[in-house]
Amino acid sequence: MKPENIHKIVKVLSRESPKWDVPIVTLVAETSKDPFKVLISTVLSLRTKDETTAVASRRLFKLADNPEDMLKLSEKQIIDAIYPVGFYKTKAKNIKSICTDLITKYDSKVPDDIDELLKFGGVGRKTANLVVTLGYNKPGICVDTHVHRISNRFGYIKTKTPDETEMVLRKKLPTEYWIDYNSLLVAFGQHLCRPISPKCSQCPVEKYCDRVGVGKSR
């Protein structure tokens, strides 16, 4: 695709996205305005479907919605609240560890810096970027499977890994789109631009897309 078409794509997806389900972490950010909840719900969302993450997050935050109260819960209580998210036992341990570090090292305040966030157990670049963008409304590029796949499918970039995608997008994607790019592409990917057999006949940005790697479509 022509690089300048990214402006048209973002404009169209921004117009169309209200018709689609909002990604759960975006919804948590919009409703709570709380970086802690964004951090924990993002940890829960890894390798887990949005609907499962939504239910698990609600159950957990009813029990505790800050680091101090979270540490009062036993690991089993957290496991029971978040099951059946993927790797729920590991995530329960990580949540306890994150809350301990938040209290002892950061005065219970979630850092707004990617490098600091990467020091927490269970926090990778995707999670760190999402906390910075959605929790603090600061520039960052969160690359999950949707952003990686669709950016390459458009023909906007040519990368092999999500980390490589983030670095290329940091150089190429206009800064004004950084915060919203993940939410737009996640909603788009869940609704239309599926990994297998995407709904190209219904796609509002099909004319700008190179359809790289697309064989069968609907």
Here the CATH number for the domain that contains residue 50 is: 1.10.340.30
Domain that holds residue 162: 5-21+141-208
Domain edge (last residue) among 136, 154, 189: 136
Rounded to whole angstroms, how far apart are CA atoms 162 and 43? 17
Q: Verify that 130 and 152 share a domain, yes or no.
A: no
CA distances from 200 to 9, 64, 145, 170 (A): 14, 43, 19, 27
* pLDDT tens per residue across span 121-150: 999 999 999 999 999 999 999 999 999 999
**Residue 41 binned pLDDT confidence (cut-offs 50, 70, 90):** very high
pLDDT of res. 130: 95
What percentage of the chain exceeds 90 in pLDDT? 99
pTM value is 0.91
Q: Is the separation of the CB atoms in 85 and 52 below 8 Å?
A: yes
Judge if 118 and 29 occupy the same domain. yes
Return the pLDDT at 51.
94
**Which CATH number does the domain housing residue 200 bear?**
1.10.1670.10
pLDDT reported for residue 45: 95
Last residue of a domain, one of 114, 136, 158: 136
